[in-house]
């Protein structure tokens, strides 16, 4: 009986410790990466605000090219939507929320493997001689306790994926005649 009580006490102590650690971790995340693309702002912005180009540069779609995609709405206008479903990449959607001459704001929603919402924000700045500085920023909530515990891993993973995505976008833009 004493062994069972000891095991239960140890497990309860571990659970309390995990919950305490999660309580002190951030409740949200923010990832931001930039690159310079040797093309004008309008052409670069078009490749982000028109979801018909999305699978050509987005690293998650390239992880599972056979996934199902559906694009609805008018490109480069609020309500334009890209939905996906796959075994590796799960299920979710991007919806263009707002666009102006320097910004694209997108609502990101994950349905599977877990429900979550985030914001994708893009900034396009004239840079140098006909170049564009592109900044890709993503932020969202990290609900207590599990998402907070996964936050550091999520942040590190997103940093790598953003670098890959921006490199792919750069190759796509610079190899096409915008």
What is the mean pLDDT for each group of 10 consecutive residues in the chain (178 residues)?
87 86 87 97 96 94 92 98 95 97 97 93 94 97 86 87 97 84
Q: What pTM does this model have?
A: 0.88
Q: Please write down the long-range contacts of 20-25, taking CB distance under 8 Å and 24 or more positions apart.
A: 21/149, 22/144, 22/145, 22/146, 22/148, 22/149, 23/144, 23/145, 23/148, 25/142, 25/148, 25/149, 25/151, 25/152
The span from the CA of 166 to the CA of 103, in Å, is: 16
- Calculate the alpha carbon distances from 86 to 11, 21, 57, 68, 83 in Å: 36, 33, 17, 6, 10
What local confidence, expressed as pLDDT, does residue 102 receive?
97
User: Which residues fall within 8 angstroms of residue 152, CB to CB, at 6 or more apart?
Assistant: 25
What local confidence, expressed as pLDDT, does residue 112 receive?
93
What local confidence, expressed as pLDDT, does residue 72 receive?
98
What local confidence, expressed as pLDDT, does residue 21 receive?
83
Query: What residue ranges do the domains of the chain occupy?
Result: 27-175
Sign of the four-CA dihedral 155, 107, 114, 12: positive
What local confidence, expressed as pLDDT, does residue 178 receive?
55
CATH of domain 27-175: 3.30.530.20
């Amino acid at each position: 009986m004493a062994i069972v009580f000891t095991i239960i006490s140890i497990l309860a102590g571990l659970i309390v410790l995990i919950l305490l650690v999660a309580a002190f971790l951030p409740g949200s995340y923010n990832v931001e990466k930039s690159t310079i693309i040797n093309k004008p702002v309008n052409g670069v912005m078009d490749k982000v605000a028109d979801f018909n180009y999305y699978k050509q540069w987005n690293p998650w779609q390239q992880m599972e090219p056979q996934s199902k995609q559906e694009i609805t709405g008018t490109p480069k206008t609020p309500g334009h939507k890209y939905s996906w479903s796959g075994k590796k990449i799960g299920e979710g959607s991007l919806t263009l929320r707002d666009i102006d001459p320097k910004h694209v704001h997108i609502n990101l929603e994950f349905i599977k493997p877990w429900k979550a919402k985030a914001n994708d924000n893009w900034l396009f700045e004239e840079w140098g001689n006909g170049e564009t500085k592109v900044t890709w920023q993503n932020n969202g909530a990290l609900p207590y306790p599990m998402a907070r515990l996964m936050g550091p891993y999520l942040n590190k993973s997103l940093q790598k994926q953003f670098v890959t995505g921006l490199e792919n976008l750069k190759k796509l833009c610079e190899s096409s005649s915008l």
